[in-house]
Amino acid sequence: MSSGTGNSTTINYACCPPGSSFWAVLGQTIAIVFSSIGAAYGTAKAGAGIGTAGLINPGQVTKLMLPVIMAGILSIYGLITAIIINSNVTSATKTGAFGMPYMQAHAQFGAGLCTGLSALAAGLAIGVAGNAAAKAVAKQPSLFVVMLIILIFAEALALYGLIVSLIMATSGGSDVKCTS
């Protein structure tokens, strides 16, 4: 893999050390884990509210499943980010170098962190708002639109994080080459 073996490819280990891909893979892990924790918390908390609301007004339970659905979408955001990061790691390691440029690896890490933490925050918001709103809508069905708007704003937190992470994952450090 270096110029001493008869191969004309030289690897720039200063910019692309062998362990740099670790940061990108850690970004993948963070995106999946934190977005799944946010989705699980949102689903559990909103589900508890739906259970209580079902005792108050059983006819509203189907409409009140919306917070659970919106919480489940959060883990999909983490999956999307992890797939994008994985494709960047795979393409970087195909060059023969076992690392990737530090800037690119750290951009992938930041992308995973951005999606994971924003989805976690959105899951907390959806869970708390969904729990309270489900009980309120069961007592007063006209509050459904208010619940919907609150949930949309909570979901937007994760969507903003996904957009920023996609920008980071696709543009960070791709101009640095590990081989020459």
CATH of the domain at 157: 1.20.120.610
SS3 at position 144: helix
The model carries a pTM of 0.85
User: Is position 90 within any domain?
Assistant: yes
Mean pLDDT of the chain: 87
| Residue 41: strand, helix, or coil | helix
Which of 178, 40, 35, 60 lies closest to 120, judged by CA?
A: 35
| Secondary structure letter of residue 96 according to DSSP | S
pLDDT higher than 90, residue 176: no
Asked whether residue 11 is assigned to any structural domain, the reply reads no
pLDDT greater than 50 at residue 3 = no
pLDDT score of 39 more than 70 = yes
* Residue-wise burial string across 64-93, b where 16 or more C-beta atoms lie within 10 A, e elsewhere: bebbbebbebbbebbbbbbebbeebbeebb
As for how many domains the chain has, the answer is: 1
Gap between the Cα atoms of 177 and 180, Å rounded: 7
Question: How many residues are listed for the chain in this entry?
Answer: 180
Nearest Cα neighbor of 80 from 57, 111, 106, 54 is: 111
Q: Please report whether residue 5 resides in a domain.
A: no
pLDDT digits (tens, 9 = 90+) for 132-150: 999 999 999 999 999 999 9
Phi-psi region of 179 (alpha: psi -120 to 50; beta: other; left: phi over 0): beta
For the stretch 82-121, pLDDT in tens is 999 998 886 655 655 566 788 888 999 999 999 999 999 9
C-beta of residue 85 within 8 angstroms of C-beta of residue 24? yes
Tally of CA atoms within 13 A in the half-sphere of 91 that contains its CB: 13
Query: Does 80 map to a domain?
Result: yes
Cβ–Cβ < 8 Å for 42, 88: no
Range of the domain at 82: 19-171
